[in-house]
Amino acid sequence: MDNNKLKNYEIKKISDFKWELTLNKNLGMRVPGIIFSDKEIIEYAEQEETLKQVANVATLPGIINASYAMPDIHYGYGFPIGGVAAFNMDEGVISPGGVGFDIACGVRLLRSDLEYKDIKKNMDSLMNNIFINVPKGIGTKGRIKLTEKEMVNIFKNGALWAVKSGYGEEEDLNYIEEKGCMDGAEPLNVSKEAIQRGFDQVGTLGSGNHFIEVQKVDEIYDKVVAKKFGLFEGQITVMIHSGSRGLGHQICSDYLKVMQAASKKYNINLPDRQLACAPLNSPESQKYYSAMVCAANFAMANRECLAHWIRLVFEKIFNKSYKKLGMDLIYDVSHNIARFEKHDVNGKQQEVCVHRKGATRSFGPNCFGVPDDFKDFGQPVIIPGDMGRYSYILTGTKQAMYESFGSTCHGAGRLLSRTSAKKKVNGKQLQKELFDTKGIIILTNSLSGLSEEAPIAYKDVKNIVDIAQKAGLSKKVARLIPLGVIKG
């Protein structure tokens, strides 16, 4: 496959786990594309035209080094999902398509002192109580009713609002990216429609690929780091995957219209209108970024509240406080976001705007933003898989800092569209099969939604994580297997 032309693109194998879409100025590319992948994923990406999206991103003004794609790459809106791009501050742009609709969608992982033997008899009760006590599903209203003043507070303070409102612990803030609150929020740049959609959605799970998963640690790869994270074999953990819900979706929709006009205003030629963008120093970009930060802070507050409801359920089932159960937050990461970060560019530290669309920060040892507890090892990286297999916790690496602007994959990556999955899988049968064959309890409001999230709809996350490790983007610490799953 080396040096073969894939449609209009020439792809070159750099290593077994790194490929280059060569720079083609005839296509408007300013930089090459770099895909961290194996041969099979490259071929699949070509078939669904995701490589074209990698090349399209490479045409954007001010892009630095390359248009990157992580091992879980698949087709997205504008940017591929799994796409990463950094832009310089002078000529660079910001693009809502490089962030995504579910702004700051992300994952958090809670540990516990419980082992599987401690909860085995209580699994049914535990899962049913979480299912009852955590709002979920499309358009679901939460348990928290906000005033407009409180919404503004969330926009500006993120997870800190949740903690001060009694929905979390202050020590949690040390283990959330940006300590649970990004700077730069401007509530006035969020539309009334977006605020209306968010009023009753804080503390709600949502639908689609969002989930709550009770898990067991079944394999440790790095005993030293696992101990530092508080992980051990047989241990019970809880993973939460959710984002900014309807609020973030509306902000993205609102600013796509703004950016489409801005692209014309600033004479930015785009190969795909879904890449609509504006210069970083423009008023349009500054307004979008400030609204995006509001959604990011909302998302982090949302996950803090979700964790609170789950901790309370564990208290009820096991008749102990969640602190005595050791239910501490290991880490919380967002994987649909644009951030201003300092990186080494051609030997000099520069501030750049890094877009991560379905990609996770993977900052290495002693990097900025890594909690003090983990400075020697790098930040925790949380990679969920599908509900029938496993998930992983990893660490960031020094190599990722210069290979991918400190980025790695965010999940398994889809193989089948939601429509295709629904045609192939019966939700009720899948629910029964996962329980009968693996003992996994699946609870959902939507069996058709369950079909969309069937394991066959996703790549095997083991392969994705192995590629990320072999490419040097992140390093495995532990594997987690599902015992019970809540879907919207």
Task: Residue 474: name the closest of 34, 21, 70 by CA.
Answer: 70
- At 122, the amino acid letter reads N
φ, ψ dihedrals at 151, nearest 5°:
-65, -45
* 394 three-class SS: strand
Residue 343, strand partner residues: 350
Instruction: Count other C-beta atoms under 10 Å from residue 200's C-beta.
Output: 19
Instruction: Tell me whether residue 447 is exposed, middle or buried, using C-beta atoms within 10 angstroms of its C-beta: 0 to 12, 13 to 18, 19 or more.
Output: middle
Dig out the tokens for 389 from the structure. Answer: 């297999």
User: What does the alpha-carbon distance between residue 166 and residue 182 come to, in Å, rounded to a whole number?
Assistant: 20
Radius of gyration of the chain (CA): 21
* Alpha-carbon distances of 241 from 209, 214, 303, 398, rounded to whole Å: 8, 12, 8, 26
SS3 118: helix
Residue 454, helix vs strand vs coil: coil
Taking a C-beta distance cutoff of 8 angstroms, is the pair 427, 457 a contact?
A: no
Catalytically active residues are 410
Q: How many CB atoms lie within 10 A of CB 55?
A: 23
First to last CA, the chain: 41
Whether the CB-CB separation of 291 and 186 falls below 8 Å is answered with: yes
Say which residue the tokens 């669309």 belong to. Answer: 357
The sign of the CA dihedral 461, 98, 179, 368 is: positive
Can you state the angle between helices 123-133 and 283-318, rounded to 10 degrees? 140
* Opening angle at CA 361, ends 450 and 259, nearest 5: 80
166 alpha carbon, distance to own chain's centre: 26
H or E element in which residue 167 lies: none
Q: Which two tokens stand for residue 222?
A: 């790095």
Nearest Cα to 105, choosing from 298, 339, 256? 298
Give the C-alpha separation, 82 to 36, whole Å: 10
Report helix, strand or coil for 247: helix
